[in-house]
Structure 1
Amino acid sequence: MPIVQADRLAHIGAALLEAAGASAEEANAVAVGCVNANLAGHDSHGVIAIPTYIDRVKAGHIVPGAKWTIMQESPTTTVIDGNWGFGFHVNAKAMELSIAKARTANVAACTVFRQSHVGRLAAYPLMAMREGMIGIATADSGRSPKHVAPFGGREARLGTNPISIAVPSDLEAPFYLDMATSAVAAGKIQLAVARGEQIPTGWIIDADGRHTTDPTQYRKGGALLPLGGTEGYKGSGLAAVVEVLCGLLTGLGFGVEPSGRHNDGVFMAVFNVAAFRPLQDFKREVAEFARYLKSTPPSEGSSGVFYPGEVEYLREQQRSKDGIEIEDATWEKLRALATEYKIAGELGLA
């Protein structure tokens, strides 16, 4: 697999998206968002997704240059119609607006609908964290085809429905949670297929409801399993709550519209820490809490405790220095797109 530096990878991604019709601002938002996911080790949400986004632009499912619209708002709430724009761009604008409202009102929340895939969900709570606020985000896929079987079922009825929460701290690595409510993100199955790898038992079932380690069975009528293994009712319950916040509260509805576009519904909330206690005291105690967690002796076979967000940070440091491995199948798709748009030479992909 080729190893590519992050800045070059972002440049390639942005150039391809601009060639497909995105504005420079949109293309940069998507490309940088994807590369940041790669840096954090979430390759399922990295540049592997860019060819899919371009396919959706070609199909008219993503509308470059779409103007997002505020449908209704109050001093603490906003309802935003993304008008089928790039989710990376629309969602960032929605979070910026929520942060601005929380500066005045101390709390703010928003819903966003009719936007394309928002990428790695942590990107948005991390925006609030950097402003001394606690950020929360949840996302679902509207009435797009579903991927996750509810606990006890064999047919998909839920999205991967991630949850992310980021908290300000004095730590070097940010303290944040970013998790799918399924056993694994759908993109990790795509990644395993692209790399020709098997997957662990407990990630998916095949069309007959049987556990399998063959990732190709997923596209043959299989389904992802909810988080929790034998206690999968916990992940299934979390996913159902996310569906309510992001599908029903946004008005997207539930179920599947087979001919519909991929349509991320998002609920986000922001809390100004200073409205509850002095920010510096809170940040110091979060860091002390993280160190307290890490102070436990490791269990058998473990290298020790990592607090939420620490592993991603360490991976980001390593990949920023050493470069990002891109699976051959993804690299070839990027090269093919560069050739199609006649920019392969200038991008060094000829």
Structure 2
Amino acid sequence: MSSTEDLRLGEPHEGRFLVVKSDRLTRICAALLKAAGASEDEAQAVATGCVNANLAGHDSHGVIAIPGYIDSLKAGDIVPGAEWTIVRESPTTAVIDGNWGFGFHVNAKAMALVIEKAKIANVAACTVFRQSHVGRLAAYPLMAVSAGMIGFAVAGSGSFPDCVAPFGGREARLGTNPISIGVPSNLQAPFLLDMATSAAAAGKLEVAIARREKIPEGWLIDAEGRPTTNPHDYLKGGVLLPLGGPEGYKGSGLAAIVELLCGLLPDPGFGPQPSGRENLGCFMAVFNVAAFCPLNKFKQEVAEFARYLKSATPSEGSPGVFYPGEIGYLRAQERMANGIEIEKATWDKLRTLARNYRLAGELDLA
């Protein structure tokens, strides 16, 4: 598929999107990251994580982030090949210093360690600090699900610039601070919660800007504290609102707890760093289902519960009930078959990077 063949014309986004197959997109992003200094493993982990986010419909955490990661590499804010350090450890816990490595890579290794601990101790947890952006948080609980365990992960903003106002405020004091929980089941799609504690992920504003679209009401207030549907107001001092609308104290409270788990618990992982680098923290926990009840019985009962949820009569104008994780799975199946829509603005950035690294011909991005 050539770059011209990727162009998809038609309403309502005529000329503003390109449709690219996921395997091609992964190859392009991995090659660009490797050219920027990432190792083969790191480049593949980040590229795969970003494309998987696109597949599930989390475009805010997809390939739109690749140019930013490369900028961070150039600035020295991400250290390729960084060796993580276990600062503190017990049979059931670990505190991990990522030493400014790729969050995708560090966090995956941390979750793998916690899963191994849970195989012996049944319950295990870790904190990770001094790492870069971890991508779509759901990737890590899903690792636990594959091992027959319940996975839990939260990510705080650390020293990353705050972008969310606490409930009742108009100045940023919190991050988007996502929460993700994955549960083993016999369902075709994973039973998976994956949500920001803000009204929307900050990356969704970047996507809206790239697509020249308005955002829904309730996501953002401008620098004067007024509601706005213009994503550009975010770049002019606007802030995201917490999840919950009129009951935004719920999202605000959740975000504050996430910040404590990810920022204060892995002491000294919170606050500005001498290097000026962004310090993003995570807290992850794993629960071995077999320690509580037979795994197969639990998986079957989770599936029955999901079907019970879906049996509810649809409300007016609703397509019906979807259990957590189902929509992302269905979207991924569709995008695997038909390709991923990439904003032309993002594609142009990837093309420019390919030219700068003299990979345009090899990657068919001339």
Q: Tell me the TM-score normalised to structure 1 length.
A: 0.98
* Deviations 1:128-187 (CA, angstroms, capped at 9, x unpaired): 001100000000121121010000000000000000000000000000100000000000
Give the C-alpha shift of residue 224 in structure 1.
0.3
- Specify which of 204, 207, 212 is matched with residue 196 of structure 1: 212
Letter in structure 1 aligned against 2:146? R
- Report the equivalent of 2:300: 284
- Report the equivalent of 2:131: 115
Task: Give the Cα–Cα distance (whole angstroms) in 1 for the partners of residues 254 and 102 of structure 2.
Answer: 26
* Deviations 1:21-76 (CA, angstroms, capped at 9, x unpaired): 00000000000000000000000000000000000000000000101111110110
- Specify which of 266, 269, 291 is matched with residue 250 of structure 1: 266
Aligned partner of residue 246 in structure 1, secondary structure: helix
Task: Give the Cα–Cα distance (whole angstroms) in 1 for the partners of residues 285 and 199 of structure 2.
Answer: 25
Aligned partner of residue 326 in structure 1, secondary structure: strand
- Specify which of 95, 115, 119 is matched with residue 103 of structure 1: 119
Is 1:29 the equivalent of 2:45? yes
Is 1:143 the equivalent of 2:159? yes
Task: Give the Cα–Cα distance (whole angstroms) in 2 for the partners of residues 153 and 257 of structure 1.
Answer: 26
Is 1:313 the equivalent of 2:309? no
Is 1:93 the equivalent of 2:113? no
Structure 2 contact 128–282 (Cα < 8 Å) conserved: yes
Q: Tell me the TM-score normalised to structure 2 length.
A: 0.94
- Report the equivalent of 1:326: 342
Task: Give the Cα–Cα distance (whole angstroms) in 1 for the partners of residues 267 and 94 of structure 2.
Answer: 14
Q: How does 1:261-272 map to 2 (within 5 A)?
A: 261-272=277-288
Letter in structure 2 aligned against 1:14? A
Letter in structure 1 aligned against 2:28? I
Task: Give the Cα–Cα distance (whole angstroms) in 2 for the partners of residues 186 and 229 of structure 1.
Answer: 17
Letter in structure 2 aligned against 1:115? Q
Aligned partner of residue 248 in structure 2, secondary structure: helix
- Specify which of 209, 212, 224 is matched with residue 228 of structure 2: 212
* Deviations 1:244-290 (CA, angstroms, capped at 9, x unpaired): 10011122566667983222100000000000000000000000000
Q: Evaluate the alpha carbon distance shift between residue 43 and residue 304 of structure 1 in structure 2; reply closer, same or farther with a 3 A threshold.
A: same
What stretches of structure 1 move > 6 A for 4+ residues in a row?
A: 255-259
Task: Give the Cα–Cα distance (whole angstroms) in 1 for the partners of residues 86 and 124 of structure 2.
Answer: 15
Structure 1 contact 205–211 (Cα < 8 Å) conserved: yes
RMSD: 1.2
Task: Give the Cα–Cα distance (whole angstroms) in 1 for the partners of residues 96 and 44 of structure 2.
Answer: 22
Aligned partner of residue 150 in structure 2, secondary structure: strand
Q: Evaluate the alpha carbon distance shift between residue 99 and residue 238 of structure 1 in structure 2; reply closer, same or farther with a 3 A threshold.
A: same
Task: Give the Cα–Cα distance (whole angstroms) in 2 for the partners of residues 272 and 257 of structure 1.
Answer: 36
> Percent identity of the aligned residues?
75
Structure 2 contact 270–279 (Cα < 8 Å) conserved: no
Count of residue correspondences = 350
- Structure 1 residues not aligned, in runs of 5+: none
Task: Give the Cα–Cα distance (whole angstroms) in 2 for the partners of residues 263 and 164 of structure 1.
Answer: 20
Task: Give the Cα–Cα distance (whole angstroms) in 2 for the partners of residues 112 and 55 of structure 1.
Answer: 23
Letter in structure 1 aligned against 2:291? A
Structure 2 contact 129–269 (Cα < 8 Å) conserved: no
